[in-house]
Structure formats: C-alpha cells, structure tokens
Amino acid sequence: MDEATAEGAASPWRNYFLILLDRIPVPTAVCDAYGEVLIANPAMAAEWGAAPGQLRGRNLLGLFRPRSQAQVDRLIDALRLGRRSRYPVGVSWRAGANGGERQGELTVDPVGDPSEDLPVLLALLRVHEDTPPAPTPGREAASPVETRILALAAAGATTASIGGHLGLTVDGVNYHLTRLSRRWRVQGRTALVAKAYVLGVLAQGVWPPAAAEALSTESPEG
C-alpha cells in the first residue's frame, strides 16, 4: 500500500474518532509527548468556558496544577523509558474565567507503538464528586462560545459553517446547542435564536447578529 492509499484509508477512522470524541461526556484531550493539546473534546473545553479549538496548543501543566510533583516525575520517567501504562495525576484548576477552584484526577495514558520514542498522550479528567460544580450560565445567560454559535445561527449559517468559524466539529456545535436547549427548555434552532433575543443574549436591531454584551462594551466613536 503506497503512502497516499494508506492516508486515505486512515482518514475515515480519524473522522470516526473525532465524532466519538465529541460525543464522550468525559472531559478528554489528546496531547503530544510534551503535554501540548492536539485535540480537546467539548466536555474538556467546557471546564474553561471555551471552544475545543481554543485549548489547542495549550499545555496540560498550564491548564492544570498537579498536586504531587512525584506523580508528574513518575509519568516523565515512564515516557523516557518507553513504558505504556496509565498514570493518574491529582490536579486542581480554576473553572472558567471567573469560576471556582476544582479538583480531580487526570489519567494520562501513553498510546502508540512501544518502539516509538514519542507517544501520544490520552488524558481523561475525572472531577471529584465533592467538588463544587463548574459554573454554567444561568437560564437567562449563555457562555461566550454559545453566544457566538447563536449569532452565527441567527445569521443563517449551517451547522458545518458554524463549526468552521469556531474550530468545532458538527457534533461539537450540536453539543452546545443541546446544552442550551436543555437549559432554556426550548427545542429547535429557531426557538433558541428567538429565546436568545428575548433574554438579551443577542443584540436587538443589528446586522449581522452580535452578542448584546459585546456591543455594550464597545467604546463610543469620536
């Protein structure tokens, strides 16, 4: 099998993996051997009130604070020696821009051929049950990512187009729309957009649609 054929055969499986990753409710990220985030699912990004694409390029040690350096050293030694196992790291982090302190366990699993010097890291986050829940927008609010989705939807953008603008997959966009639907207790994109205007999430009387908060913080001209 030549290189082009192999790449074509791998592409569908990569797409299936991305779709599955978006649907997993467990906060999950795929990183390189140095901890730099390559892919994050919506559940992981939601811990920071961000879109998955906004975590790309960030480092796990910049997102989480390990509670034990010994656990981090054990993982580093394992990577250096080419070991493949699961390594738990107790971590804490601050959820969202104004969120509270949260604690949990990050399970890091080096994956790939044992002969490879630099494996890919699969990181799954388990939030401790006694940790206060991550702050989520109230029924009459929306996160920055949700607001951008609503503004694009109000302008008539398709789900795929919205994803392209925000660095989300189609399933990622639907994930946020579903969360909004449950929070606002409405069904369908049209109802969500209408509710956004009623609640003041989107600004009245402007085109293209924009977040009301963004307009209110703009400084006046002159």
Average pLDDT, the chain: 79
Residue 31: pLDDT over 90: yes
Structural contact between residues 109 and 121, judged by C-beta atoms closer than 8 angstroms: yes
Report pLDDT digits (tens) over 146-195: 888 999 999 999 999 998 888 888 888 888 888 888 888 888 888 888 88
Structural contact between residues 109 and 122, judged by C-beta atoms closer than 8 angstroms: yes
The owner of tokens 């969202």 is 96
As a whole number, mean pLDDT of residues 4-25 equals 62
d(CA 75, CA 137): 36
Question: For a pLDDT cut of 70, what percent of the chain falls above it?
Answer: 79
Report pLDDT digits (tens) over 97-142: 556 788 899 999 988 766 666 788 999 999 887 655 554 444 457 8
